[in-house]
Chain A
Amino acid sequence: MDTQINTLSVEQPRKTSTLSLPVHIYLLVVRSLTTLLRTPEALLPPLAISIFFLVIYQSTLGKASSFIPGIGGSYLGFILPLSIVSGSLSVSGIAAQNLVRDIERGYFDKLLLTPVRRAALLLAPILAGAVILGIQSTIVVSVGLLLGLKPTTGFLGLLVVIGLGVLLGLGFAGFTVSAALGSGSAAATQGASFLFFPLTFLAPTFVPLALLSGWLAVAAKLNPITYVLEAMRSLLNTGWDAQAIGTSILACLLLAVAMYALAAFALSVRTRRS
């Protein structure tokens, strides 16, 4: 304990520059990824479940798929997008749990006492989730290839499929992160993550959109997941379809914008001094 504290280096900290937002986002994304990778027990089950369902659907329904008209290619190419979309959902839940952990443990407040840009507190867990989601989707797609998937649009098409999965996940994460900021509770955030789960079934999940009818068809048409599934399927089974891809990107962006407005509001409530 003979350190000379009065000779500590580093002059007075500088004023925050306008460049600080990207820097702060980078720092906090690295930090979020560090903690996420140190909790593999939270990351591995969703990945395992995605792969499990992919294999199960393919083995049980793959043979029967010739009875379903309009699949337009392999059943594997039809069902793999569902695995990726459900992965987007579960990873958005993980990102929000990571944030809620910080709130519960008080680390979030500790960050609030630094000059950190408030937007970075919101964006970092979401972007860290996107990185995890990219990795997870790549693994799921690789398993698909091992099972015999032959994408019509080739390697580039697979990249677009993964990209769409990540984009959709960003929207979901906007919602779950809002729940985390709004409630500050792990249980409530978990509950909110499940709200999106039924959405995967209010969509052309197991049969093409044309075969849905009545209220389910209406619900599916309002559901952004529908357009993402359609675009992914076209990429894997039929070929480049600019309109399908454009519509799905638009659907993802609409979802993301709405969810960010919500998240920004939740952040302002959480960080408001009262």
Chain B
Amino acid sequence: MNDREIVVEDLVKTYSGKVTAVKGVSFKVDAGKIFGFLGPNGAGKSTTIKILTTLALPTSGWGRVGGFDIVSQATDVRRVAGVALQDIGIDPLMKSMELLVLQGRLFGANKSEATTRASELLELVQLSDAADRRVGTYSGGMRRRLDLALALVHQPKVLFLDEPTTGLDPVSRRDVWREVRRLNREMGITIFLTTQYLEEADELADTVAIIVDGKIATEGTPANLKSALGEESINLVFETPEIAEKGRLSLEQVGDRIQLDRDTVRLYLSKAAGSIPMVINQLQQVGVSPISLTLTQPTLDDVFLQVTGQRLVASETAKPKSPRSNRRAEVN
């Protein structure tokens, strides 16, 4: 089944002899899995996907997509890989039916085959009603779904999706997720997905890799990463930052780690729930009491923060489980 795998070994990409965007990336995506590739802007995500989809050459290292070498067998890679890149556009003057038929014919189908396939794909992504409208009149969600359909025209075994839901409203986002999951489960397509939404990776990916500054900082299943790197925490909000500081001092010896952010104290410790009585007790001894107390389970967001030292900017729809401003927080 290596015709559905992605293997990358020590990939390096240096631009014009100066900027090194990717500094020795290695990973393997098993057949039929969904791989989530996360990282802050400029970490090397786009460069990696461009190399894997044959739009760019690596400076050194090698990679195989569906069993084909990304450098010497680019044509074969293009036949097994479907690609929906974030910055790859669709012509707004064309209609979706026309675009799908053209794409199919360029991949070698005759007119009737390409037309049948196009209708099926339009049905699949729920665009049949808009087949005869110019793409320029489509909403953002419709365009993403069309782009997904275009990537599927030649029945790829491996699918590359570069930020497939960036800029979509939550409903359209869920539509795309459902599609991606179906393609993976029902057709066994291996999916390489970059995303800015940790929630998305958590929802879809079997394996997640976080790339920081051109290198893979950590890799694993979302569950493993969360339990290894994320920590539970008790979050205490006080009336004023001064009271919060007093509370922080009293709790310093209690947890593994403590953070103060204005009026909020965050105490990281394992078995957080069981420690609540002790925490309250400590606070009472110095005569302060919180106005709210919440428990936070680890999220991929926490893992990301730990690994990269920053939050993903675009996670405005991620559930606000963890507090927002962490700039001043110590990370390790």
Contacts and interface: CB of A to CB of B under 8 A. Distances in A.
A8 B93 contact: no
B272 interface: no
A105 B105 contact: no
Given A27-B105, A105-B91, A114-B106, A34 B150 contact: no
Nearest to B120: A8
B128 to A, nearest CB: 10
Contact of A113 (B53, B114, B186): B53
B186 A13 contact: no
Nearest to B50: A273
A241 interface: no
A194 interface: no
A10 B106 contact: no
B322 interface: no
A38 interface: yes
A107 B108 contact: no
A31 B89 contact: no
Contact of B124 (A3, A23, A38, A111): A3
Nearest to B82: A113
A6 B124 CA distance: 11
B78 A12 contact: no
Contact of A35 (B87, B94, B116): B94
B154 interface: yes
Interface in A111-143: 111-116
B270 interface: no
Contact of A10 (B55, B89, B109, B182): B109
B108 A14 contact: yes
A63 interface: no
B19 interface: no
Nearest to A105: B89
Interface string B64-97: 0000000000110011000101011111111000
A273 B155 contact: no
B126 A10 contact: no
A228 to B, nearest CB: 32
Contacts of A60: none
B54 interface: yes
B88 A109 contact: yes
A141 B168 CA distance: 52
A106 B89 CA distance: 4
A13 B90 CA distance: 22
Contact of B75 (A5, A6, A27, A115): A115
Interface string A248-274: 000000000000000000000000011
B105 A6 contact: no
A208 to B, nearest CB: 44
A35 B136 CA distance: 12
A114 B89 contact: no
Interface size class of A (residues with CB under 8 A): 35 or more
A15 B78 CA distance: 12
B312 interface: no
A5 B124 contact: yes
A52 to B, nearest CB: 27
B103 interface: yes
Contacts, number: 102
Nearest to A9: B116
B146 to A, nearest CB: 12
Which of A10, A101, A102, A112 neighbours the largest number of chain B CB atoms within 10 Å of its CB? Answer: A10
A15 to B, nearest CB: 7
Nearest to A110: B88
B87 A113 contact: no
B261 to A, nearest CB: 41
Given A102-B91, A109-B88, A114 B56 contact: no
A14 B124 CA distance: 23
A146 interface: no
A39 interface: yes
B86 to A, nearest CB: 9
Which of B93, B103, B116 neighbours the largest number of chain A CB atoms within 10 Å of its CB? Answer: B93
Nearest to B134: A38
Nearest to A15: B108
Interface string B106-122: 11110001101100110
B107 A114 contact: yes
B94 A115 contact: no
A273 B88 contact: no
A31 B98 contact: yes
A1 interface: yes
Interface in B198-233: none
Contact of B91 (A14, A20, A27, A107): A107
B183 interface: yes
Given A9-B120, A39-B93, A114-B106, A106 B87 contact: yes
Given A10-B104, A39-B93, A109-B88, 19 more contacts: A8-B117, A8-B120, A8-B155, A13-B107, A13-B109, A27-B106, A31-B94, A34-B93, A34-B94, A35-B94, A38-B93, A105-B89, A105-B91, A106-B87, A110-B88, A110-B89, A111-B106, A114-B78, A273-B54
Closest 7 A-B residue pairs measured CB to CB? A106-B89, A105-B89, A114-B106, A13-B108, A106-B88, A35-B93, A273-B57
11 contacts: A9-B116, A9-B120, A10-B109, A10-B113, A101-B91, A105-B89, A105-B91, A107-B90, A110-B88, A113-B55, A115-B78
